[in-house]
C-alpha cells in the first residue's frame, strides 16, 4: 500500500542557467522589471552565483551562473520556454510595446484560443512567453485533442 503524498502548492521557483549574471540581472531586473529578492553564492560551488527574482504569488525565478554554459537548447530533456502571465490583453499589448522600445526582438501577439501571447528570448537564448488569459479553462478543453493519449481517453470515458 502506497503512502499518500502531501499536496503540491504551486511552483516555488524555476531555475535557469545563465552564462553572464550581469547581463541576466539587467534583462530580468531592468527590461522585465522583476524585483531581485536574493543574491547568493551556490553553497556547493562558491564561484557560482544564484540570484532569485520575485514572480509574484510566492513564485521565484532562479538564475544560476555558469560562465561556460552554452546558450539555451530546446529539445528532448530540455525546457521549451518560460511563461509569465499578465493581467489582460491590454497589459500584454503594453508589455509588447515596452519590450520593443527597449530593443527586445519580440513577436506579434499570437491568439491561442484561451490565451494571447508574445515571445522573445533572454540573453542566453531561453524562449520567454508572456501571456494573457482570454477565458477560463473548462471541461471542454480536455476534448480539444481529437485523438487523445490513452490515459486521457480513459478519463474522458473513451476507449
pLDDT at position 122 is 93
Highest mean pLDDT among 8-12, 75-79, 95-99: 95-99
Distance CA 62, CA 65 (A): 10
Distance CA 130, CA 95 (A): 8
**104: burial class by Cβ within 10 Å (0-12, 13-18, 19+)?**
middle
What pTM did the predictor assign?
0.76
pLDDT at position 2 is 62
Q: pLDDT tens-digit profile of 82-132?
A: 999 999 999 999 999 999 999 999 999 999 888 999 999 999 899 999 999
pLDDT at position 58 is 85
Amino acid at each position: 500500500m502506497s503512502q499518500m503524498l502531501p499536496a503540491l502548492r504551486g511552483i516555488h521557483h524555476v531555475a535557469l542557467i545563465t552564462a553572464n549574471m550581469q547581463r541576466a540581472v539587467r534583462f530580468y531586473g531592468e527590461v522585465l522589471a522583476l524585483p531581485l529578492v536574493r543574491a547568493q553564492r551556490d553553497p556547493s560551488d562558491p564561484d557560482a552565483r544564484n540570484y532569485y527574482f520575485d514572480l509574484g504569488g510566492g513564485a521565484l525565478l532562479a538564475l544560476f551562473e555558469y560562465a561556460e554554459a552554452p546558450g539555451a537548447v530546446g529539445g528532448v530533456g530540455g525546457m521549451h520556454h518560460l511563461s509569465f502571465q499578465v493581467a489582460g490583453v491590454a497589459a500584454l499589448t503594453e508589455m509588447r510595446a515596452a519590450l520593443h522600445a527597449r530593443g527586445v526582438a519580440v513577436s506579434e501577439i499570437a491568439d491561442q484560443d484561451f490565451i494571447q501571447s508574445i515571445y522573445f528570448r533572454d540573453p542566453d537564448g531561453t524562449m520567454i512567453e508572456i501571456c494573457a488569459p482570454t477565458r477560463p479553462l473548462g471541461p471542454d478543453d480536455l476534448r480539444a485533442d481529437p485523438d487523445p493519449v490513452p490515459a486521457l481517453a480513459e478519463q474522458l470515458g473513451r476507449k
